[in-house]
Amino acid sequence: MESVIVGGPASTDLALSLSRLLKLPLLSVKYTEFPDGESKVTFSEKVDGSTVILVQSTYPPIDKHLMELFFLAHHMSQEGAKVHAVIPYLAYARQDKQFLPGEVVSLAVLSHLLRSAGVSRITTVDIHSAESLRLFSIPIYSASAIPSLVQYAKKNLSVTKPIIIAPDFGASKRTEAFATLYGGEYARLSKERDRVTGDVKVRQEDLDVKERDVLIVDDIISTGGTVRAAAELLRKAGAHKVFALCTHALLVGDAQERLVSAGVNEIIGTNTVPSKVSKVDVSEVIASHLRTLTE
């Protein structure tokens, strides 16, 4: 079965890069938005009988990018294509369980919708929690951008006595993996979040960062509340330079400015979410996994 790539409007550059790396044709699709915000998708070529690698990240505006993904997947599956969705940033992954009574497990609903739209396989990058993969009834794989972030840090960051910090327990496994590959000391902060207000408090216990450079590593920086609180704490404790590294730099609203004002020297993200801080390319990470499925 012939394989082709279709790039959604949220990931045109990433789709082009994957097309080049995998030496696969990139299909042309027209995207239109009506004055009321509705999206329209028009195909110029048929995909019947093909395996389609559909590349569409779901960063903000999240629901718009999801609807485009559903439209694309449904049309192609209806034409008889096998749809493999590459969703570099998978929205709603943090809503993978019921934290408070009455909350909807949104990721479980998204899993159902993707399958109903005709998606037969998913590849994502650094999903928030590996446990959430169980919510999917179709094959799903989460590739890791940590080695690529480590490579960037080694090549581009000039640091003194570096220490790798996890801003909370949830980030500890990937941060420890980063520290192992980087070859630096690892430590973790303690965080408390009010589930109703969203307010974050971070604590430091027996951690000496005086005159040291700190690399805070996390999977997602959204509003930046956790990393901001961590940076302020570490600066007060005497940290020299503070770097914030993550896979998905959403940086909602004025998050970037708030992080800088908290003492963060540089924010480093990947192109799962394209922006000015997307300094690490995950194309090869994704391509490497996709190659294993065709070998």
Using CA atoms, how far apart are residues 193 and 201, in angstroms rounded to an integer? 6
- ∠ CA 148-154-159, nearest 5°, is 135
* pTM, full prediction: 0.93
Average pLDDT, the chain: 93
| 16: exposed, middle or buried (Cβ count in 10 Å: 0-12, 13-18, 19+) | middle
pLDDT beyond 70 at 192: no
Using CA atoms, how far apart are residues 121 and 133, in angstroms rounded to an integer? 12
| Greater model confidence, 233 or 150 | 150
- Which amino acid is residue 225, in one-letter code? G
> pLDDT value at position 188?
87
pLDDT beyond 90 at 113: yes
Using CA atoms, how far apart are residues 34 and 41, in angstroms rounded to an integer? 11
Q: How far is CA 199 from the centre of its chain?
A: 23
Q: CB within 8 A of 168, min separation 6: which ones? A: 188, 189, 190, 191, 202, 226
> pLDDT value at position 191?
64
Categorize the per-residue pLDDT at 189 as very low, low, confident or very high, splitting at 50, 70 and 90: confident
Q: Lowest mean pLDDT: which of 34-38, 153-157, 203-207?
A: 203-207
Q: CB within 8 A of 134, min separation 6: which ones? A: none
> pLDDT value at position 280?
98
Average pLDDT for residues 207-227, to the nearest whole number? 93
Categorize the per-residue pLDDT at 195 as very low, low, confident or very high, splitting at 50, 70 and 90: low
Average pLDDT for residues 267-275, to the nearest whole number? 97
> pLDDT value at position 86?
98
Using CA atoms, how far apart are residues 41 and 128, in angstroms rounded to an integer? 30
At 90, list the tokens. Answer: 């998978």
pLDDT beyond 80 at 194: no
Measured in degrees and rounded to the nearest 5, phi and psi for residue 33 equal -120, 125
Average pLDDT for residues 283-294, to the nearest whole number? 94
Q: Which residues are catalytic?
A: 191
pLDDT beyond 60 at 58: yes
pLDDT beyond 60 at 197: no
Alpha-helical runs (H) found in the chain: 12-22, 62-78, 106-116, 146-156, 172-182, 225-236, 255-261, 283-294
pLDDT beyond 90 at 163: yes
Average pLDDT for residues 12-27, to the nearest whole number? 97
> pLDDT value at position 202?
62
Enumerate domains of the chain plus CATH numbers: 3-144+281-294 (3.40.50.2020), 146-271 (3.40.50.2020)
